[in-house]
Amino acid sequence: MEKNVAEKEAMITEEQYLKEERKGIRELDGKYEFHLGKKIFMGGATKEHNAISTNLTGLIWFFIRDKEYQLYHSDMRTYAPATGSYFYPDLVLIKGEPAFKDGTFDNLLNPVLVIEILSKSTASFDRGEKFKTYRDIPSMEHYLAISSTSYMIEHYQKLNESEWKLKIIDGEDKQFELLDGLHLSMKDIYRNVKFEAKS
């Protein structure tokens, strides 16, 4: 989901954040992520963002339909234990059975792949602090940061406990492999997405 990042000034605890989210307060004033003691507001998504998310959902679902993976959308919170952070990835994939914090269904612990669709207001945070937080999750193997304003994807792949490899896929005609045997094309990912002409 595209996030117009606006942090609430008051620091709160992890417990307070979860209490508010689970009581449905976010239905009144929007959805929030939580990082380093601060709530981070998530704004609405653009039509480009929604098209990319829908396309990826179909492409990934078709690949995993007979495999031991499960795919979740942006309402599934993912928990990063190292910092006590809670994020809502645009898409998150797990292998095998999902594991949840405190046995509650809404805080996922074992993502293999996290996908964030970037907006102008969140690109820096998603590439930087958020990716740093995600990569501390032991199960994480892949992170995609997808532009919603041009044909560009950053694919971060875990090589070992301390090393990640970055591959940039740039251009409408490119293809790449994600996981074992999941081949994706930029044309399919960006189907029905039209970018504003550059002046």
Reported as a single tens digit per residue, the pLDDT across 40-79 is 888 778 899 999 999 999 999 999 999 999 999 998 999 9
Given pLDDT bands bounded at 50, 70 and 90, which one contains residue 10?
low
Predicted TM-score (pTM) of the model is 0.88
pLDDT by residue (tens digit) across 118-140?
988 889 999 999 999 999 999 99
Closest CA to 84 of 65, 106, 61, 107: 107
The pLDDT score that the predictor gives to residue 193 is 95
Longest dimension (CA), the chain: 52
Which pLDDT value is given to residue 8? 43
Closest CA to 91 of 78, 73, 67, 110: 73
How many residues are recorded in the chain?
Answer: 199
Q: Tell me what pLDDT residue 20 has.
A: 85
Q: Domain 46-189 is classified in which CATH homologous superfamily?
A: tt1808, chain A (3.90.1570.10)
What kind and span of H or E run contains 29?
A: helix 26-29
Could you tell me if 111 and 89 are in contact, meaning their C-beta atoms sit under 8 angstroms apart?
A: yes
At residue 199 the predicted structure's pLDDT band, cuts being 50, 70 and 90, is very low
Closest listed residue to residue 114, CA positions, set 128, 94, 97 = 94
Q: Is the confidence at residue 4, as pLDDT, over 60?
A: no
Task: Indicate if the pLDDT at residue 3 is higher than 50.
Answer: no
Position 41 scores a pLDDT of: 85
